[in-house]
Amino acid sequence: MAPGSMASIAGALLSLIFSSNIFCYVAVFGLITIIGFLVSTRMEEIARKKDPSCVVIDEVAGSFIAFFMLPLSFSVWVTAFFLFRAFDMFKIYPTNKLEELPGAKGIMLDDLVAGVYTNIVMQITIHFSSITLLTLPTGG
């Protein structure tokens, strides 16, 4: 499986772990995002390649936005995962322009916006959906 998809799965699982505590969720997201911005430019320089595939912290950070405040439902989470991957791969405007930015900005921002797009679509869909959601078990 592709590194970006594996990182998105890791981000989804971390999101699930921290979903019951919004403070922890936001703190972990912030930490991951800050680290991503701090290390991505250097990794790009080391790899001598724009947005190298070995840098996956951007997908983890984007996943946190994609899954933010979504119901704990298997169908919702699977849909959000595939929607996030689609937004990340197809680079719908302005993510295509953000990806062109130099260094960490280009690496991180396109995935963060893909996460925003995913979350908006999911929130609207859930709000207007009359489908009963199959909920995931919680740990408490």
Question: Domain span at residue 34?
Answer: 3-128
Q: Which range, of 42-56, 73-87, 97-111, averages the lowest pLDDT? A: 42-56
Report d(CA 105, CA 50) in Å as an integer.
Answer: 11
Highest mean pLDDT range out of 5-9, 22-26, 51-55, 94-98?
22-26
Report d(CA 69, CA 100) in Å as an integer.
Answer: 30
Asked if the structure places residue 67 within a domain, the reply is yes
Asked if the structure places residue 137 within a domain, the reply is no
Asked if the structure places residue 43 within a domain, the reply is yes
For 55, list phi and psi in degrees, rounded to 5. Answer: -90, 110
Please say whether the dihedral angle defined by the alpha carbons of residues 5, 61, 123 and 14, taken in this order, is positive or negative: positive
Whole-structure pTM value = 0.86
User: Percent of the chain at pLDDT above 70?
Assistant: 91
Which residues, 6+ apart, have CB-to-CB distance to 22 below 8 Å?
A: none
Asked if the structure places residue 46 within a domain, the reply is yes
Asked if the structure places residue 40 within a domain, the reply is yes
Asked if the structure places residue 134 within a domain, the reply is no
Tally of structural domains, the chain: 1
Residue 45 reports pLDDT greater than 90: no
Asked if the structure places residue 103 within a domain, the reply is yes
